[in-house]
């Protein structure tokens, strides 16, 4: 990079990446829990993709039955700490809280869930569930992200021999690598992995299915397979200059922030993030918090069309991120290093097949933003080459695995799938739902045999 | 122009808010500070026999995150000598002519001892005497406090010893730890008391520590019954107040006590016949400053109602205190849910379904549940409207026109006249005639 942002004092990094939503103290948790109306058949429960019995777990916090509270949560969701910290609660449970309809502040469900689950880990993860005796059948789980973990936990308790194959050295998938540190630290994700391992699940890391182990061998070894492989790389921008030093993918960048000492993660003095989804916001705010002086988000459409949640947009604005809407990157300028990005002004035209108005370039509207670093955050590609190599699997137009939405069974009856690889990239909580319910799909399938 | 001043058994104060005989009224410093902030009167913390307190003496009852919904104590009467208290009382009264200074007394049950303390108290220039017959702990075991209040004969005897020498008004403070509060009140009246104060604190054990099994408050591993007070006791106090206030054999001015925390509470006591109100727990929780809102809130309320003096409303609710047998059995209400206001918490549904009469239907509509009252089955119990968290969302609507009024007493009398027994069959016939079906 041409101009690298200067390092910050180490305590400044800690401050910049400190909890966005700090934990409750006991008193404040109980006070908040008591504020909950304990609705019957509550809207928050319906809004949660995993249907956690929220009002019940909150009631249990109010009486000091914290173990019971954790149990209620785990009955529906195997990665509740990640969900508590990373879920877009504003559009899910807290958005559905009846207090909104009263014009009052919604119950802080995410923070209460965090309180119950952190207490559970602090207490040393005492056993909450009865584990069925071994049934002699084995299931291989590909990927240790939220979908894989949820599927593994559920199957292990049902009596299956479960082996997780994780390509990375450190498990947890995007729960470990992909969540901004001010939302969640890596250790939290690893605690959830430990819990699943404690059910007798065998976790094999640095095993790349399709490379280290062949898919056929896996199918021979196990009675069923669950694919929770997530998505792959950021796609190319396909503009000139993309090979220059200083152009990085958003996920690589975010992963670095989660794995390396912050002072060793270089960011440019001026950074442009291409795309305006939730990952773009993470990348932009992280670059800013690492010391970048100016961070821009460049997006072809307007704020109305962008996929970032409202609260993420607000967070970015608070961090001083500058948004260039209706702006499309044309080429990256520089010799060996990025020096700037030439953009084109856009206007919105007719709606496309998804109903979103198509951006149309405005002629001769080129302008250049001088930047030292460009972060590509225009989504993730599916792992289509890997997925196509699996016998009898069918993929949709977007490259996602096609499954039965009840059993999560693919066209290959022995193979089940869930999470980002079937939905193209949703929330952790959706993956947690898929994994758990796929486990029951697998159980149903194998019990018949 | 609103006038908050009151006259309670000849004791006058610029407003009805008095400190109760309790820790907040322990010293000249505290009472003078309270007066500076606007309190109309004080009942000086009980002076009398030598006592020594234990260190840990209060237990709080918290509810759903609300601190000190109730408070109990095992503190005794003033643990400072009589001389010190009398000197401070005289100094305080000298500084605060317009405020009521009442002195609470408790000495051993000897006529001469009472005569002496009463005379010395009058010499301070104070406005009245309150006899502490209520303290439920520590003193009662020594034959004082509640030990007196619970036996009408003792109550009468000691009150007579006081009234025969007192030249100032005498209030008798009653304990609620009796089965019929009217008996000690009548004894006080018979002995010449000028007024009644009630209630003193209620016998209680506030709670147990689930880790150590110790009682709260815990004194070196031991605990025991203490006096219960605070917002939680207000309904009990209101009931006992009404019982004394409606008793024609008592007919004395009353200073109301028990969970008064704000002007609204105070008005309820006044509507049931209290002349002044006494406050302790709310001050122990928040300090003397609460009197500002009490005065202002009551004044504003009176102005909004066009009331200029508390005399105009004192006892106004007493005629409504009545027996069940006189309630109209055919005064029919049912619940109606305002669908526009409903936030779909479904609390009305589950309360009615599990705890009342199963007359609210829950039907899924557009992703949420619609709650609707099946009116023909609704008994109008009002539980749903009580659990509903939204103001005015569930209202209790009267559906009869009042023409068919019938009380239980009238009904039994009617049956008697017609030679009918009060049987389930005869009662069902009456209900059926009026379209009332009980499932």
pLDDT of amino acid B175 = 94
Average pLDDT, stretch A390-406? 95
- Summarised one tens digit per residue, pLDDT across range A87-98 is 999 999 999 999
- Summarised one tens digit per residue, pLDDT across range B150-191 is 999 999 999 999 999 999 999 999 999 999 999 999 999 999
My answer on whether B331 and B313 are in the same domain is no
Q: What tokens appear for B136 in the block?
A: 């439920």
Point out the least confidently predicted range of A58-62, A291-295, A347-351, A413-417: A347-351
- Summarised one tens digit per residue, pLDDT across range B374-420 is 999 999 999 999 999 999 999 999 998 888 899 999 999 999 999 99
Q: Considering chain B, what is the average pLDDT of its residues?
A: 95
pLDDT of amino acid A2 = 85
CATH of the domain at B365: 3.30.70.20
One-letter-per-residue 3-state SS of chain B: CCECCEEECCEEECCCEEECCCHHHCCHHHHHHHHHHCCCEEEEEEEECCCCCCCCCEEEEEECCEEEEEEEECCCCCCCCHHHHHHHHHHHHHHCCCCEEEEEEECCCCHHHHHHHHHHHHCCCCCEEEEECCCCCCCHHHCCCHHHHCCHHHHHHHHHHHHCCCCCCEEEECCCCCCCCHHHHHHHHHCCCCEEEECCCEEECCEECCCCCCEECCECCECCCEEEECHHHHHHHHHHHHHHHCCCCCCCCEEEECCCCCHHHHHHHHHCCEEEEEECHHHHHHCHHHHHHHHHHHHHHHHHHCCCEHHHCCCCCHHHCCCHHHCECCCCEEEEECCCCCCCCCHHHHHHHHHCCCCEEEEEECCEEEEEECCCCCCCCCHHHHHCCCCCCEEEEECCCCCCCCEHHHHHHHHHHCCCCCCHHHHHHHHHHCCCCCC
Q: Which domain holds residue B346?
A: 324-398
My answer on whether B307 and B331 are in the same domain is no
Q: What tokens appear for A39 in the block?
A: 């609705």
My answer on whether B101 and B239 are in the same domain is yes
Average pLDDT, stretch B312-322? 98
Average pLDDT, stretch A278-295? 96
- Element containing residue A195 per DSSP (H, E): helix A186-197
Contacts of A37 in chain B (CB under 8 A): 345, 347, 389
Q: How many CA atoms lie within 13 A of A63 on its CB side?
A: 10
pLDDT of amino acid A354 = 80
B334: in domain: yes
B222: in domain: yes
Asked if B65's CB is within 8 angstroms of A40's CB, the reply is: no
Asked if B389's CB is within 8 angstroms of A62's CB, the reply is: no
Greater confidence (B290 vs A233) lies with B290
Could you give phi then psi for residue A241, rounded to 5 degrees? 95, 0
Q: How confident is the model at residue B271 (pLDDT cuts 50, 70, 90)?
A: very high
My answer on whether B242 and B191 are in the same domain is yes
B407: in domain: no
Distance to chain A for B235, nearest Cα, Å: 23
My answer on whether B28 and B103 are in the same domain is yes
B85: in domain: yes
- Summarised one tens digit per residue, pLDDT across range B38-97 is 999 999 999 999 999 999 999 999 988 789 999 999 999 999 999 999 999 999 999 999
Asked if A42's CB is within 8 angstroms of B347's CB, the reply is: no
Percentage above 70 pLDDT, chain B: 100
My answer on whether B328 and B291 are in the same domain is no
Q: Report DSSP state, residue A425.
A: S
Asked if A35's CB is within 8 angstroms of B349's CB, the reply is: no
Laid out side by side, the sheet with A373-376 consists of A247-249, A373-376, A270-274, A294-298, A322-324
pLDDT of amino acid B413 = 97
- Element containing residue A387 per DSSP (H, E): helix A384-388
Domain count along chain B? 2
My answer on whether B128 and B145 are in the same domain is yes
Using the 3D structure, point to which of B271, B299, B317 is the last residue of a domain: B317
My answer on whether B350 and B311 are in the same domain is no
Q: Are B137 and B215 in contact (CB under 8 A)?
A: no
- Summarised one tens digit per residue, pLDDT across range A136-186 is 999 999 999 999 999 999 999 999 999 999 999 999 999 999 999 999 999
Using the 3D structure, point to which of B259, B283, B317 is the last residue of a domain: B317
Rounded Cα distance, B277 and B16, in Å: 6
Name residue A329's beta-bridge partners. A343
Q: Which of B339, B343, B384 to probe the A interface (max A CBs under 10 A)?
A: B343
Point out the least confidently predicted range of A65-74, B117-126, B208-217, B364-373: B364-373
CATH of the domain at B52: 3.20.20.70
Q: How confident is the model at residue B319 (pLDDT cuts 50, 70, 90)?
A: very high
- Summarised one tens digit per residue, pLDDT across range A178-228 is 999 999 999 999 999 999 999 999 999 999 998 999 999 999 999 999 999
B266: in domain: yes
Tell me, yes or no, if B236 comes closer than 8 A to chain A by beta carbon. no
My answer on whether B91 and B154 are in the same domain is yes
| Structural domains of chain A sorted by starting position, each given as residue range(s) with its CATH number in brackets | 22-122 (1.10.1060.10), 138-232+381-448 (3.50.50.60), 247-376 (3.50.50.60)
What ipTM was predicted for this assembly? 0.82
Asked if B390's CB is within 8 angstroms of A31's CB, the reply is: no
Rounded Cα distance, B44 and A408, in Å: 76
Would the pLDDT of A309 be above 90? yes
Contacts of A34 in chain B (CB under 8 A): 64-65
Tell me, yes or no, if B346 comes closer than 8 A to chain A by beta carbon. yes
Contacts of B390 in chain A (CB under 8 A): 102
pLDDT of amino acid A313 = 96
Asked if B362's CB is within 8 angstroms of A35's CB, the reply is: no
pLDDT of amino acid B95 = 98
My answer on whether B309 and B336 are in the same domain is no
Distance to chain B for A35, nearest Cα, Å: 8
Residue B135 a catalytic site member: yes
Residues 6+ positions from B202 with CB-CB distance below 8 Å: B136, B176, B177, B227, B228, B229, B233, B236
Q: Are A68 and A120 in contact (CB under 8 A)?
A: no
B180: in domain: yes
Asked if B65's CB is within 8 angstroms of A31's CB, the reply is: yes
My answer on whether B137 and B28 are in the same domain is yes
Q: Give which of A217, A220, A251 is closest to A233, Cα–Cα.
A: A251
Tell me, yes or no, if A102 comes closer than 8 A to chain B by beta carbon. yes
Instruction: Say which of B8, B32, B126, B135 is annotated catalytic.
Output: B135
My answer on whether B264 and B337 are in the same domain is no
Would the pLDDT of B1 be above 90? no
Q: Considering chain A, what is the average pLDDT of its residues?
A: 95
B173: in domain: yes
Average pLDDT, stretch A100-106? 95
Q: Kindly compute the dihedral angle of the four CA atoms of residues A10, A15, A19, A20, in this order, to the nearest 10 degrees.
A: -140
Q: What distance, in Å, lies between the first and last C-alpha atoms of chain A?
A: 59
- Summarised one tens digit per residue, pLDDT across range B294-303 is 999 999 999 9
Would the pLDDT of A67 be above 80? yes
Using the 3D structure, point to which of B317, B342, B371 is the last residue of a domain: B317
B412: in domain: no
Would the pLDDT of B234 be above 90? yes
Q: How confident is the model at residue A268 (pLDDT cuts 50, 70, 90)?
A: very high
Average pLDDT, stretch B207-229? 94
Would the pLDDT of B37 be above 90? yes
Average pLDDT, stretch B334-363? 96
Nearest CB to B346 within list A31, A35, A39: A39
pLDDT of amino acid A449 = 60
What one-character-per-residue DSSP string does A225-236 give? EEE-----PPPP
Would the pLDDT of B138 be above 80? no
pLDDT of amino acid B145 = 78
């Amino acid at each position: 990079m041409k101009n690298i942002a200067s390092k910050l004092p180490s305590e400044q990094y800690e401050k910049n990446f400190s909890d966005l939503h700090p934990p409750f103290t006991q008193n404040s948790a109980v006070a908040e829990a008591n504020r909950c109306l304990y609705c019957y058949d509550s809207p928050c429960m319906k809004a949660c993709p995993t249907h956690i019995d929220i009002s019940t777990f909150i009631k249990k916090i109010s009486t000091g039955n914290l173990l019971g509270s954790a149990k209620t949560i785990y009955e529906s969701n195997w990665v509740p700490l990640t969900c508590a910290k990373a879920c877009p609660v504003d559009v899910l449970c807290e958005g559905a809280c009846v207090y909104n309809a009263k014009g009052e502040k919604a119950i802080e469900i995410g923070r209460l869930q965090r309180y119950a689950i952190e207490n559970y880990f602090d207490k040393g993860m005492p056993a909450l569930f009865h584990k069925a005796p071994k049934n002699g059948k084995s299931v291989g789980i590909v990927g240790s992200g939220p979908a894989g973990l949820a599927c593994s936990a559920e199957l292990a308790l049902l009596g299956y021999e479960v082996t997780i194959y994780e390509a990375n050295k450190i498990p947890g998938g995007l729960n470990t690598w992909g969540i901004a540190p001010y939302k969640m630290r890596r250790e939290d994700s690893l605690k959830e992995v430990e819990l699943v391992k404690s059910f007798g699940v065998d976790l094999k890391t640095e095993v790349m299915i399709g490379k280290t182990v062949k898919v056929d061998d896996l199918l021979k070894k196990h009675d069923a397979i669950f694919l929770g492989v997530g998505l792959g790389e950021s796609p190319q921008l396909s503009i000139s200059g993309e090979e220059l030093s200083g152009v990085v993918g958003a996920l690589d960048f975010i992963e670095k922030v989660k794995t390396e000492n912050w002072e060793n993660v270089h960011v440019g003095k001026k950074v442009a993030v291409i795309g305006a989804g939730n990952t773009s916001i993470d990348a932009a705010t992280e670059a800013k918090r690492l010391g970048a002086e100016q961070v821009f988000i460049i997006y072809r459409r307007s704020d109305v069309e962008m996929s970032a949640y409202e609260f993420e947009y607000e967070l970015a604005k608070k961090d001083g991120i500058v948004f260039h809407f209706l702006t499309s990157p044309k080429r990256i300028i520089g010799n060996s290093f990025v020096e700037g990005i030439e953009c084109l002004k856009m206007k919105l035209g007719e709606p496309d097949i998804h109903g979103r108005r198509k951006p149309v370039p405005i002629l001769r509207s080129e302008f250049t933003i001088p930047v030292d670093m460009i972060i590509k955050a225009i989504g993730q590609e599916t792992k289509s080459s890997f997925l196509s190599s699996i016998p009898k699997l069918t993929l949709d137009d977007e490259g996602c695995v096609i499954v039965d939405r009840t059993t999560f069974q693919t066209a290959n009856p022995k193979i089940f799938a869930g999470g980002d690889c079937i939905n193209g990239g949703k929330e952790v909580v959706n993956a947690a739902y898929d994994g758990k319910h796929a486990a029951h799909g697998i159980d149903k399938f194998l019990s018949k045999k | 122009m609103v006038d908050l001043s009151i006259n309670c058994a000849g004791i006058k104060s610029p407003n009805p808010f008095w400190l109760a005989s309790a820790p907040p009224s322990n010293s000249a410093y505290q009472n003078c500070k309270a007066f500076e902030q606007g309190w109309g009167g004080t009942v000086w913390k009980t002076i009398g026999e030598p006592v020594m307190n234990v260190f840990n003496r209060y237990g709080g009852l918290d509810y759903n995150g609300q601190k000190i919904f109730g408070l109990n104590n095992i503190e005794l009467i003033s643990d400072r000598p009589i001389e010190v208290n009398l000197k401070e009382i005289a100094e305080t009264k000298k500084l605060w002519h317009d405020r009521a200074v009442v002195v609470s007394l408790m000495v051993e049950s000897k006529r001469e001892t009472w005569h002496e303390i009463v005379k010395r108290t009058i010499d301070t220039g104070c406005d009245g005497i309150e006899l502490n017959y209520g303290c439920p702990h520590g003193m009662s075991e020594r034959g004082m406090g509640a030990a007196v209040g619970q036996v009408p004969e003792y109550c009468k005897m000691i009150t007579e010893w006081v009234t025969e020498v007192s030249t100032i008004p005498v209030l008798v403070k009653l304990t609620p730890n009796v089965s019929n509060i009217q008996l000690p009140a009548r004894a006080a009246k018979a002995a010449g008391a000028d007024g009644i104060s009630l209630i003193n604190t209620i016998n209680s054990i506030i709670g147990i520590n689930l880790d150590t099994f110790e009682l709260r408050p815990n004194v070196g591993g031991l605990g025991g019954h203490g006096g219960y007070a605070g917002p939680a006791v207000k309904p009990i106090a209101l009931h006992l107040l009404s019982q004394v206030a409606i008793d024609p054999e008592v007919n004395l001015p009353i200073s109301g006590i028990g969970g008064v925390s704000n002007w609204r509470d105070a008005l309820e006591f006044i509507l049931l016949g209290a002349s002044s109100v006494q406050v302790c727990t709310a001050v122990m929780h928040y300090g003397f400053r609460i009197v500002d809102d009490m005065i202002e809130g009551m004044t504003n309320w009176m102005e909004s109602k066009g009331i200029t003096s508390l005399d105009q409303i004192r006892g106004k609710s007493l005629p409504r205190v009545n027996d069940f047998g006189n309630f109209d059995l055919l005064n029919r209400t049912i619940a109606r849910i305002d669908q526009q206001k409903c936030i779909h918490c479904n609390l009305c549904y589950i309360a009615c379904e599990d705890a009342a009469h199963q007359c609210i239907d829950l039907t899924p509509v557009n992703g949420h549940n619609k709650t609707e009252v099946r009116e023909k089955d609704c008994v109008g119990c009002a539980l749903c409207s009580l659990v509903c968290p939204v103001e005015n969302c569930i209202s209790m609507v009267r559906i009869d026109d009042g023409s068919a009024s019938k009380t239980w007493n009238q009904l039994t009398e009617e049956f008697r006249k017609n030679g009918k027994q009060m049987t389930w069959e005869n009662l069902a016939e009456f209900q059926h005639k009026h379209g009332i079906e009980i499932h």
